[in-house]
Each structure stands twice: as C-alpha cells, then as structure tokens.
A and B are shown apart, each in its own frame.
Chain A
Amino acid sequence: MKTALLVSAAVIALAMTSTGAFAQSRDTIQVSGSSTVLPFASIVAEEFGSAFPEFKTPVVGSGGTGAGLKQFCEGVGDNTIDIANASRPIKDSEREVCTTNGVTDIREVQFGFDGIVFASAATGPDFALTPVMVYKALAAQVMVDGKLVDNPYKTWKEIDASLPDMPIVLAIPASNHGTREVFQEKVVAAGAEEAGLPEGLSDEDKAKALTTFRQDGVTEIAGDYTETLARLKSDPNTVGVFGLSFYDENKDTLKVATVDGIVPTNESVAAGEYPVSRPLYFYVKGQHIGIVPGIEEYVQFFLSDAMIGEGSTLEAAGLIPQPADKTAEVLAAFEAGAK
C-alpha cells in the first residue's frame, strides 16, 4: 500500500512537471497525411528501419492529404510532424498558413504515380465510362435541351444506351482526400466541359455547378477505401472510386471500369494513356533536417531505385514508377534546399 502510494505520487509528480521535461529532441521521424500514400510510406519506413540500424523506424499516420498538410503547417518543433504525404500538390492557401506559422522551408518530393479507378461489384455488369457520363450521373443539375435542369437520370442506361440498366449509386471520396481534387479536375471538370454549361455563367456559378452533386445516389466517403468497399458490398449497384493499388489487392471482389476505353493498368497509367492519374508527393519540413535525425537519409532512401524504380519494392505494392530522370531531378532539388 505504502509503495503503491509512493509510486503513484511519483507518477503524478512526473506528469505534472512534464511540461518542460519532455520538450527534448524527438528521435523518430513523424509522418502523416494522404491515405493513398500511406501504404507506400509505411513500407519505406519499415525498410528504412531495417536498412539503417542507427535510426528508429519512422512513424506513419494517415487521415487524408488535407489533414496531413494542416498538421504539417501547424509550426516548427518537436510536436509537429516532419513529413506530410500528399496525393496532390500543396495549395497556395496551405502554403500561406505554413508561412504564417513559421514553416518556411517546404521541400516538395514527387515520387511516382497512382491511377484512380471506377470499380463495381465483380458479379455485376461491365462499365465503360467516360468523364461526361460520370458528370451526368453525379451533377445536381445538368444540361437538357440547352437548359440547366435538376438531374433527371435515374439509371446508367438513361445516360448512355451502352451502360447497364442499373440505378445510379456512386461513392466518391470526400474533400479531405487528395483523390477528390484529381477526381474533380480530371473527371468532373472534363465531363462538364464536354456536356456543356449554359453561356454567360459567372465564374462563381460555374464553380458551384461543378461542385454541387445530387443528394440522391451520390455518397461522399470521408474514410478509407475500405469504407467505399463496404458500401459496395452492402449495395451491389454501387460504383466506387478507388486507387489503382487498392483495386489490385481486391480484384476478387471488384471489377474495374474502363475510362475512355482504356483499362487502367500500371502500364497504361505510366504511359499516360489512362486519363485519371496523378502524381504522388510528400512534403519535407526543411527546418527539421538536422534536428530530427535521419530525415535526409529517409528521403534519399525513399527515392532510391530499389524503392521506387522499375521492379522495385513499391512497384510490387502498386506504385507506378516515374522516369528515373524525374527522380534524379527531384532528389537534386531536395538536396539543394528550399525553393
């Protein structure tokens, strides 16, 4: 009883005085951000831990590109992250927040590509989509006979006779995911352009037309791809948006749709034929280099040929490699310092 009391008193004292005591330097690299990049970054972190015995294995969190960059821009210091994974480039508004909080040395590292695919239940019919079909399926208002009207389409077949006679149920990534940005740009905007919008629309109305989706049948998923998959399993009519690497792991339950007639594969994305692909990034806080040990080595290791080149570890995990010249250029820019 006495010892227990003493121990608890000690712990309480420790906890109370910890404000200053634990402000010493962190020795583990802390990474967070995009859930698309998460599997790749985790693999690199593990390999890094076993290849560099003198450094601790980096800790990799997730929660989406937006959330990761928000954490990244919170400031400089031990309780802020060192690296933010992103499946889209950093926005100017985010850079501003960074600058305001003193994060001035942001180094962008692009390390490869990922494709975004539409997939439906493996037991269901095939889909051959184009951006305009997807746009017509999910926009709140579409053009019919030259006028903007509430979306009248109930089934895919009504949009295009070549599509299956199935009710429109779409699961798309919510805005906390970098995937959404690419989806918006490469599918929705491209589709809207082809479908046409009324003449003389103000920029504001145009942006609104592009970002307002119908409430029936379109679900925005804030969680991981597994949540999209669960939705698809509970309603087999669902067409979901996934990363190509996620689809590769779940080919037994998912059937992928072609976009503009191109089947998404590592080859077609790398060749730039498949239209909905995007580069993947991570952002390094330059001010932490030299303070948190191993950041420089981590980046060099990440960009090594064994990790992201042809036939590399990450390629086996579903990453689409970028040309070696590009990697060399990115590495040189990183080592040269802040832009």
Chain B
Amino acid sequence: MAIDTLPIAKQTPAERTQVVHDGLRARHLSENIFKGLGLAAIILALGFVALLFTDIIRKGLPAFTQENMHLSVNFDPAIVKVDPVPIRNGFASEAEYQAASLKWQRSVALLNWNKVVEASLRAAAPAGYEIDTKDLLTIAETDARHEIRERFVANPTLLGQTVDIDVLASASAVNWIKGNIDRSLQDSQQQLSPEARSLIDTFVENGVISRGFAWSILTNVDSRAAPASAGLAGAFFGSLYMMIIVILLAVPIGVASAIYLEEFAPKSKVTDFIEVNINNLAAVPSIVFGLLGAAVFINYMHLPISAPLVGGLVLTLMTLPTIIIATRGALLGVSPALRQAALGMGASKTQMVFHHVLPVTFPSILTATIIGVAHALGETAPLLLIGMKAFVASVPATPMDQATALPVQIYLWQGNEDRNFFEPRTAAAIMVLLAFMIVLNGIAVYLRSRLEKRA
C-alpha cells in the first residue's frame, strides 16, 4: 500500500511531509509543462509572423527602387512635324479655340514619338553601337513617349531644342539589371536580345541608367502598357473612399443600434430574435455580402459598377455586426453604480446614457471600430463581385468613379503575366497595405490611451 493512501492518522510526520512534497512536485511539473507549451505556442505564432514579414519585405524592398534613364531629348523638327500651336487671340470664340486646341493635341498625340525616343537612346549609346530599332525600344518603358510628348504639349517652344528628360527603364530592363531573371540563361530564354542586354549594362556603367527611390509606386496609377510605371495611387484612393464611407455609415448606425438594443429596447422575443441574427450576421462569409451588394446596389438600385460607393456600402454591411456586438459588450460592462448614481441625481435615461455611460465606453467602441475598419480594408472577396476587379488607369475623383482597392490591386498584380517584374511589385503593394493598417491601429492605440486617461 502506498504511503499517500494510508489514513492520515497512521502516517508519521516525515511521511506526511513526503506526501506534501510529492504533491507539490507534481503540481509544479504540470505548471511548468503548461508554461512551456504556452511559450512554445507564442514563439511558433511569432515565428510564422516573422517568416511572413521577412519574406514579404525581402521580396518587396527591391520594388521600392526604380531605374531612371537620363536622356538628352532633341525635339527634331524633322521628326516632330506639327502645325504651330493655336493661340487664343487667333479665334473668334472660346469654343473655337478649344476645338482647335484639342485638334492640335490630337495631331501631336498621333505623331510617332517612338522615333524621338529611339533617337535619344541612340545618342546615349556608344558611337556606332549596332542594334535594331525594335530591340533598342525595349530598353525604355513604353510610357517614355508620353512623357516626352507631354513635355512638348506643355511647352511647344521646345521644338528644335535639346532637353534632359528622365524616363523609366522598361520592366524587362529592370528584371535584367536587378537580376529578377537569371542572367546566366541562354538567349532563347531571355526577355531581351543580347544587344539590348549589353547596352543596358553599358548604360548602368556610364550612369545613363541610375537607381532612385520609386516614388512612382506611390504616386502613379496602375499601368499595363508601361508596367515599370505601375503604381498604387488609384487603388489607395479607392480604399480611402471606401474606408471613409464605412466609418461615416457603420459607426453611427452600429453605435445607435447597440445603444437602443442594450439600453432602451424592451427585452422581448423580438429583441432576442434580432440579437441572435446580429450574431449570425457577424459570422456570414464576406463573399455573401458581395453577392448581396451586386444584387441590391448594382442591379436593383442602379449604382455604378466598380465604384467605391458600392464597395463602401458592402463593407459597411460587413462591419456593422462587429461594431454592434462590441458596443453592446462595452455598454454591458459599465458598472450599475454609475447608472444608478446618474438616475439618483435626477438624470433622465437619455441623459444617463449619453452623459455618463457612453463616454466611459468610448475607448472600447473606438477599438472595435478600428478593428472593423482594418478588417474591411483588407477585404477582397466581396469587391470582386461588384466589379472592382477591373483595370482602372485613373485616380477616382469621387466615390462614384470607377476604382479598385489596395487588396484587389494586390490580387491583380499577382495575376500579371510578367511574373519576374510583378512578384516584387506585389510584395511591395502588400507592404503598403500593411503600413496603412499599422497606421490605423497606431491611431487606435493612441486615441484609446488618451481617452482612457480622460475617462
């Protein structure tokens, strides 16, 4: 018979100590095992996060630099054959002038500006370097001709002059310079011809091509014709408009519903039913909200396709339950003493709620809002169904204009054909999205700590 099963009276004091020690050891052991498992779980979770972040940053950082080409562009009258620019004084009415001006711009747009680009590239290349026109043009990004044209439209007196203009190197050239493509592959597997590749290397050596910070990724809109100039500006504004709509709609509606349900609504079968449904709504997969949005907002209400307004409304529906549930939780947590004291001092129920209870819950409501908005910011699935998965090459001026959103832009870039170039770009876009979210969460933490101090 083991010692610890003996009746206590029959144990000697030494034996009793022994039993206590054994028990303690077992308890300490289980406590240590639990602590160890907890620590291991945290290390594992952090490890995954660290792995994800390092992978994205490692892939994405190179995309934050761009290769600029410094070209001396000569607006040779033999190539740039245009009529003189119309002058306002020469026309009877403003409308006629506008029409003539538009016609002039059209004629400038239809010129073959690639010839100007070609001449500038040849001027920059070592004297007598032999390369096909087609191969030569693969070095500069295709928007170089627009860049040069716009300079000319803005200042037509440049005709016949030579100006220094910076253009972007093409995506294929960037792949070659940054080593996104294996440099040891044979010619047939390369994107560029051998002549173009060796000319690019020469340009890098003699400083015609230099590396700079890629502001274009933040300031430009998406581009397929000129991938090296593709940026996130359009998607950023699309996301921004949607977030503003979500905050303006979801917060007041959500907080108001929560206050009504928690403080004013009579407890009945109906309110129970509503409560259950709000909880269910919070668990509905986001894609369902997308289907709903397409059916109601676009097909029934005839709101524009691909517009941040519709996206914002869909995301509002998605965020509402989160905010309602969090606000109700916060209201429930307010001590009854506070309520009774307010009522006891003669405050009405409305005064009690708005003057005393609600201010105490601000920090929690704020946190819930920011978490809800951050969640909405990263949401992609419902947006695909309301036409936001489109190629949009402009910054939306209003929430009614077509736009795309940051997570959708990531999805679109992930699907781009030029894998070598867009893999880093995609990672860079993820970094921008994450930075946006970290800023949002930072604001939440800051406001929360300020409000908590005040409360």
Chain A: residues with CB nearer than 8 A to chain B?
Answer: 5, 7-9, 11-12, 15, 18-19, 22-23, 26, 28, 30, 32, 35, 38-39, 42-43, 45-47, 49-54, 56-57, 59-63, 77-79, 81, 122, 223-227, 229, 245-246, 249-253, 306, 311, 313, 316-317
Contact = CB atoms under 8 A, between A and B. Distances in A.
A56 B396 CA distance: 11
A11 B301 contact: no
A226 B419 contact: yes
A239 B416 CA distance: 20
19 contacts: A8-B249, A8-B252, A12-B249, A18-B303, A22-B309, A22-B400, A30-B305, A46-B225, A46-B393, A56-B394, A57-B392, A61-B390, A78-B304, A223-B415, A250-B418, A252-B191, A306-B112, A313-B225, A317-B225
Nearest to B394: A57
A252 B190 contact: yes
A5 B252 contact: yes
Contact of A252 (B106, B134, B402, B420): B420
Contacts of B394: 49, 56-57
B419 A79 contact: no
A77 B304 CA distance: 11
B304 A22 contact: yes
Interface size class of B (residues with CB under 8 A): 35 or more
Contacts of A246: 417
A301 B72 CA distance: 31
Which of B225, B245, B417 is packed against the most chain A CB atoms within 10 Å?
B417
Contacts of B419: 226, 229, 249-250, 253
A251 B224 contact: no
A49 B415 contact: no
B392 A59 contact: yes
B303 A39 contact: no
A53 B302 contact: no
Contacts of B110: 51, 306
Contacts of B416: 226
Which of A51, A56, A59 is packed against the most chain B CB atoms within 10 Å?
A59
Interface in B365-406: 387, 389-394, 400-402
Contact of A226 (B225, B249, B415): B415
A54 B302 CA distance: 26
Given A61-B389, A226-B415, A252-B185, A15 B224 contact: no
A45 to B, nearest CB: 7
Contacts of B391: 38, 42, 45, 59-62
Contacts of A252: 181-182, 185, 189-191, 420
B252 A53 contact: no
Which of B109, B305, B415 is packed against the most chain A CB atoms within 10 Å?
B305
Contact of A22 (B245, B302, B393): B302
Given A30-B305, A311-B134, A49 B393 contact: yes
B102 A8 contact: no
A79 B274 CA distance: 34
Contact of A251 (B102, B189, B299, B402): B189
Across the A-B interface, give the 6 residue pairs with the lowest CB-CB distance, nearest first: A61-B390, A42-B224, A43-B225, A60-B391, A51-B109, A224-B415
B105 interface: yes
Which of A38, A49, A311 is packed against the most chain B CB atoms within 10 Å?
A38
A61 B417 contact: no
Contacts of A226: 414-417, 419
A30 B185 CA distance: 41
A224 B387 CA distance: 17
A316 B442 CA distance: 46
Interface in B271-319: 298-299, 301-306, 309, 313
A26 B417 contact: no
Given A28-B402, A51-B110, A57 B393 contact: yes
B248 interface: yes
A253 to B, nearest CB: 7
A302 B449 CA distance: 57
B109 A50 contact: yes
B253 interface: yes
Contacts of B105: 53
A12 B185 CA distance: 59
Contacts of B191: 249, 251-252
A45 B394 CA distance: 11
A79 B298 contact: yes
Contact of B224 (A7, A39, A61, A77): A39
A30 B248 contact: no
A11 B389 contact: no
Contact of B302 (A61, A78, A249): A78
Interface in B134-149: 134, 142, 146
A85 B406 CA distance: 25
Nearest to B223: A46
